[in-house]
Amino acid sequence: QVQLEESGGGLVQAGDSLRLSCVATRLSFGDSAVAWFRQATGQDREFVFCINPSGVIRYADSVKGRFTASRDNAEDTMYLQLDRLKPEDTAVYYCARARTFDCRTQPNDYDYWGQGTQVTVSP
């Protein structure tokens, strides 16, 4: 079964850190960008961070200086380091593989998605 699986979410306090992982099964990241999105309750899914096969990154302004992503192309794994977390970062975080080499910010540009991992940040 082709899938992406996220892990590493949890309940933390404001200012804490988390590291999310995304592992691909029977799916190669190959020449595709990979990204993290998040979706808070009652809101649309929003772009967080993307990294292409060459390591070029793109991220949302709301996470600048606090989040960073990395990928291991040999292991088809990607990570999202979340530092200095804020209550407004509370959401389900999803990893996804793009249809393209370059990073895109719209969910429709991604063809494979994980099931998500919950991140909850208390004040």
What's residue 85's pLDDT? 98
What's residue 75's pLDDT? 93
What's residue 50's pLDDT? 98
Residue with tokens 């249809």: 99
pLDDT over 90 at 1, yes or no: no
Read off the pLDDT of residues 4-60 as tens digits, 9 standing for 90 and up.
999 999 999 999 999 999 999 998 898 999 999 999 999 999 999 999 999 999 999
What confidence category does residue 92 fall into, taking pLDDT thresholds of 50, 70 and 90?
A: very high
Q: What mean pLDDT is reported for the chain?
A: 96
Q: 100: helix, coil or strand?
A: coil
d(CA 72, CA 52): 11
Distance of CA 13 to the CA centre of its chain: 20
What's residue 2's pLDDT? 78
